[in-house]
């Protein structure tokens, strides 16, 4: 596995890839030791460039080959999340209805929380049915920053 750390407005991110596919983006907490344990790659440099452009308001869509592994249900949720336009939000209920499982709101929330590729698969755009910010791997403050960034540049 190849890894690369990237400093962003929402903290340190660890990008993990193998071959030609990005496997995950991890938020490195303040309590973790942030170090690269592997080697970077051309793919990771490409991903880092795209994320840097995103944070600068110069990119709304990503063109990265993703290799998210999960159940068929999780993958359907992640695909629906990828369809949320830049600068917009959808509720967990909206996603559940969109994938044809209108009663699966909690399961959609669970699948969203297991998204291995936050930001690129923009689970920060999924909010509570009342518009409230709910769980996010990087924390609610990071979620608010990402939504504000998209509102500002969108």
Identify whether 123 is a catalytic site residue.
yes
Residue 60 has which token pair?
A: 């709304």
Sign of the CA dihedral running 27, 30, 36, 42: positive
Catalytic residue among 123, 126, 127, 149: 123
- Report which of 65, 51, 83 is spatially closest to residue 18, judged by C-alpha positions: 65
Do the Cβ atoms of 39 and 5 come closer than 8 Å? no
| 58 alpha-carbon distance from chain centroid | 17
Largest CA distance in the chain: 44
Q: Per DSSP, which regions of the chain are E strands?
A: 2-8, 11-18, 21-27, 90-91, 126-127
Of the candidates 30, 64, 32, 34, the one whose C-alpha atom is nearest the C-alpha of residue 48 is 64
| Catalytically annotated residues | 123
């Amino acid at each position: 596995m190849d890894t690369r750390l990237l400093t962003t407005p929402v903290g340190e991110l660890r990008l993990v890839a193998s071959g030609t596919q990005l496997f995950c983006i991890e938020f490195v907490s303040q309590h973790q030791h942030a170090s690269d344990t592997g080697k970077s790659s051309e793919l990771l440099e490409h991903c880092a460039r795209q994320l840097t452009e995103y944070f600068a308001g110069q990119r709304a869509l990503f063109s990265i080959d993703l290799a998210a592994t999960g159940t068929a249900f999780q993958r359907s949720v992640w695909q629906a999340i990828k369809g949320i336009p830049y600068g917009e939000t959808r509720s967990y209920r909206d996603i559940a209805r969109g994938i044809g499982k209108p009663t699966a709101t909690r399961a959609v929330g669970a699948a969203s929380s297991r998204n291995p590729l936050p930001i690129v698969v923009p689970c920060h755009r999924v909010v509570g049915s009342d518009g409230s910010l709910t769980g996010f791997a990087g924390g609610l403050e990071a979620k608010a920053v990402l939504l504000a960034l998209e509102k500002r540049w969108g």
